[in-house]
């Protein structure tokens, strides 16, 4: 089943010069980029995007983190892409994320370190976690006009 999912390259990924490296991981898996742009999120938009987390203790650190610089937002398309992208991204806590995942390869810190220092977990990426959230998040970040349907060269071999 072909799905679309939202990916954000968070400000730490952008500032560390990892945009290309991270996008390559998704392209290498044969996923198709349906839309992409750079956005500097404000507090109001952060509250919409992270609506399920707004009441949680870590939310203020998370908002500070996600609004500290621009993010690269993209929608990727592929077979079971929501699950596949989460697998490529790895666990939320970089300390536990497996080598080979984006969070495991390019970050390392822990919940404990983040909490002790009053920081968000800087884990490079956001990815939608289920079909309903993907639908909501894609619609929040992209208009229909900004999403494109086209054929990629390797489609016959990867889809
Ligand atoms: O991003 P993911 O879906 O893996 O995790 P989440 O549980 O939906 O949390 C969203 C984001 O909040 C995480 O990616 C972290 O950046 C941040 N977070 C945090 O800073 N401290 C926590 N205790 C939990 C999450
Ligand atoms: Mg999440």
Tell me which of 49, 53, 109, 126 is the catalytic residue: 126
- Enumerate residues lining ligand 1, CB below 6 A: 53, 58, 61-62, 92, 111, 114, 120-121, 123, 126, 129
156 falls within a domain: no
**What is the value of pTM for the model shown?**
0.97
154 falls within a domain: no
Q: CB under 8 Å, gap of 24 or more: what pairs does 127-136 form?
A: 127/5, 127/6, 127/7, 127/8, 127/82, 127/85, 127/86, 127/89, 128/5, 128/6, 128/7, 128/82, 128/85, 129/82, 129/86, 130/82, 131/3, 131/82, 134/3, 134/4, 134/5, 134/6, 134/82
157 falls within a domain: no
150 falls within a domain: no
Report pLDDT for 153: 85
Ligand 1 atom 2 nearest Cα: 92
Calculate the dihedral angle through the C-alpha atoms of 133, 138, 141, 144, rounding to the nearest 10 degrees: -150
151 falls within a domain: no
Report pLDDT for 102: 98
**Catalytic status, residue 126:** yes
Report pLDDT for 138: 99
Total of domains in the chain: 1
Tens of pLDDT along the chain (159 residues)? 999 999 999 999 999 999 999 999 999 999 999 999 999 999 999 999 999 999 999 999 999 999 999 999 999 999 999 999 999 999 999 999 999 999 999 999 999 999 999 999 999 999 999 999 999 999 999 999 999 999 998 888 888
Domain that holds residue 23: 2-144
104 falls within a domain: yes
Ligand 1 atom 22 nearest Cα: 58
CATH number for 129: 3.30.70.141
Strands 125-127 and 2-9: antiparallel
149 falls within a domain: no
43 falls within a domain: yes
Give the chain's largest Cα–Cα span: 49
């Amino acid at each position: 089943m072909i799905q679309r999912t939202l990916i954000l390259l968070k400000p730490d990924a952008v500032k560390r010069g990892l945009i290309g490296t991270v996008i390559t991981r998704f392209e290498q898996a044969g996923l198709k980029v349906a839309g992409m742009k750079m956005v500097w999120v404000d507090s109001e938009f952060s509250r919409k995007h992270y609506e399920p987390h707004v009441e949680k203790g870590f939310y203020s650190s998370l908002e500070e983190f996600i609004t500290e610089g621009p993010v690269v937002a993209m929608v990727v398309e592929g077979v079971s892409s929501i699950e596949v992208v989460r697998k490529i991204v790895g666990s939320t806590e970089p300390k536990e994320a497996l080598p080979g995942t984006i969070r495991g390869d390019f970050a390392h810190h822990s919940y404990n370190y983040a909490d002790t220092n009053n920081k968000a977990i800087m884990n490079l990426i956001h990815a939608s976690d289920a079909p309903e959230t993907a639908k909501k998040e894609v619609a929040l970040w992209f208009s229909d006009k900004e999403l494109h349907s086209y054929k990629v060269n390797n489609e016959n071999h990867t889809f």
